[in-house]
Amino acid sequence: MGILEVKGVNKRFGGLQALGNVNLSIAENTVHAIIGPNGAGKSTLLNVLVGKLIPDSGSVMFDGQSVLGRKPHEINQLGISRVFQTPEIFTDLTVLENVMIPCFAKRDGAFRMHAIESVGHEVDIKTQAETMLADVNMLEKSNMHAGSLSRGDKRRLEMAMCLVQEPRLLLLDEPTAGMARADTNNTIDLLKEIKAKRDITMAIIEHDMHVVFSLAERITVLAQGTPLVEDTPDNIKGHPKVKEAYLGEAAH
């Protein structure tokens, strides 16, 4: 049994079958990549996993509990965090505040009336956030407005916001899209470090094969809403069906 079990999931948008009978099992403490051409349904699948979309049929179990019908904040509280394809951060707040909010959410739950004590007195939370920022090399940007960060920094900040919660399952939707090569390599190193440090399961959607083959232990290839094959990176590289459906397409 994997930590995440997707069974028979279907999702239609009008006449378009975005997901057709998707079965997927992600084993605990692995990095599982989901690849596939544009429009294959990768983001849609992620949206189903975090409660943003409700599938027409099928089941999604996280650690033995169904996630379907739960609100996004409840799914997060189960231990699932998500990095979006376009960074979702609190642009009006400082970088430090951005990372403190997930710390509060982790400690205090979905709602806590905590209206009198000053944020400045929350030393533990602040330390936690600053340690995380140091890990992603952004500590010196703590007091900057998140909205004024570069695109690459916004992605790193979003990743820090997810990682600081120590999720059991981290979902990453094209985490290196739009990054320069150096930043991409930093991101790969960061994710490897996190993986080495503690138990975490990652599901990563990625177009960049360099990233996929640097990180993934299992790869699922999705095409037209249906998983084509699932295998180890080495086997996927040589798989004729994959070459045809995906790698071939990506080559031009």
Partner 1 sequence: MLGLNSKDFTLFLVVVVLVIAAPILLNPFPSDSAFAQFNAGYPALMQRFVIFGILVIGFNILFGLTGYLSFGHAAFLGVGSFAAVWMFKLLSYNIVPAVLLSVIVAGLFSVVIGYVSLRRSGIYFSILTLAFAQMMYAIAYSDLLGKFFGGIVTNGETGLQVYNDDPQILMSPGDPTVPHLFGWEMNSSFTWDVGGWSFVFQNGYYLSGILMLASFYLAIRIFRSPFGLMLRAIKSNQNRLAYTGVSSRPYALAAFVISGMYAGLAGGLLAAMDPLTGAERMFWTASGEIVIMSILGGVGTLIGPILGAGVIKYMENIVSTINDNVVHGWFAFMPDGIENILVTVIHPFIGKGWHLTLGLVFMAVVIFLPGGLVEGGQRLGRLFERRKVEEKPPTATTEPAE
Ligand X SMILES: Nc1ncnc2c1ncn2[C@@H]1O[C@H](COP(=O)(O)OP(=O)(O)O)[C@@H](O)[C@H]1O
**16 is a contact residue toward ligand X (CB under 6 A):** yes
What distance in Å separates the CA atoms of residue 238 and residue 178, rounded to the nearest whole number?
27
Among candidates 248, 217, 246, which has minimal Cα distance to 40?
A: 246
Contacts of 98 (CB under 8 A, 6+ apart): 89, 90, 146, 157, 161
Within residues 37-66, the interface with ligand X by CB under 6 A covers: 38-44
Using the minimum distance from each CB to ligand X, give the nearer residue, 14 or 238: 14
Among candidates 12, 58, 57, 38, which has minimal Cα distance to 177?
A: 38
Within residues 123-182, the interface with partner 1 by CB under 8 A covers: 143, 161, 165
Q: What is the DSSP letter of 193?
A: H
How far, in whole angstroms, is CA 60 from its chain's centroid? 16
Among candidates 81, 27, 30, 38, which has minimal Cα distance to 215?
A: 30
Residue 16 touches which member of ligand X, Mg ion, partner 1, none, C-beta under 5-8 Å by kind? ligand X
**43 is a contact residue toward Mg ion (CB under 5 A):** yes
Residue 218 touches which member of Mg ion, ligand X, partner 1, none, C-beta under 5-8 Å by kind? none
Is residue 169 classed as helix, strand or coil in its secondary structure? strand
Using the minimum distance from each CB to partner 1, give the nearer residue, 39 or 72: 72
What distance in Å separates the CA atoms of residue 2 and residue 26, rounded to the nearest whole number?
5
Within residues 15-54, the interface with partner 1 by CB under 8 A covers: 50
Least distance to Mg ion, CB of residue 42, Å: 5
Residue 76 touches which member of Mg ion, partner 1, ligand X, none, C-beta under 5-8 Å by kind? partner 1
Residue 41 touches which member of ligand X, partner 1, Mg ion, none, C-beta under 5-8 Å by kind? ligand X
Q: Helix/strand/coil (H, E, C) string of 67-128?
A: CCCCCHHHHHHHCEEEECCCCCCCCCCEHHHHHHHHHHHHHHCCCCCCCCCCHHHCHHHHHH
Least distance to partner 1, CB of residue 44, Å: 16
Least distance to Mg ion, CB of residue 46, Å: 8
Is residue 217 classed as helix, strand or coil in its secondary structure? coil
Q: Hunting for tokens 């979006």 — which residue is that?
A: 84
Using the minimum distance from each CB to partner 1, give the nearer residue, 48 or 221: 48
Within residues 88-117, the interface with partner 1 by CB under 8 A covers: 88-94, 97, 100-102, 104-106, 108-117
Least distance to Mg ion, CB of residue 236, Å: 19
**195 is a contact residue toward ligand X (CB under 6 A):** no
Residue 44 touches which member of partner 1, Mg ion, ligand X, none, C-beta under 5-8 Å by kind? ligand X
**122 is a contact residue toward partner 1 (CB under 8 A):** yes
Interface with ligand X (CB under 6 A): 13, 16, 18, 36, 38-44
Interface with Mg ion (CB under 5 A): 43
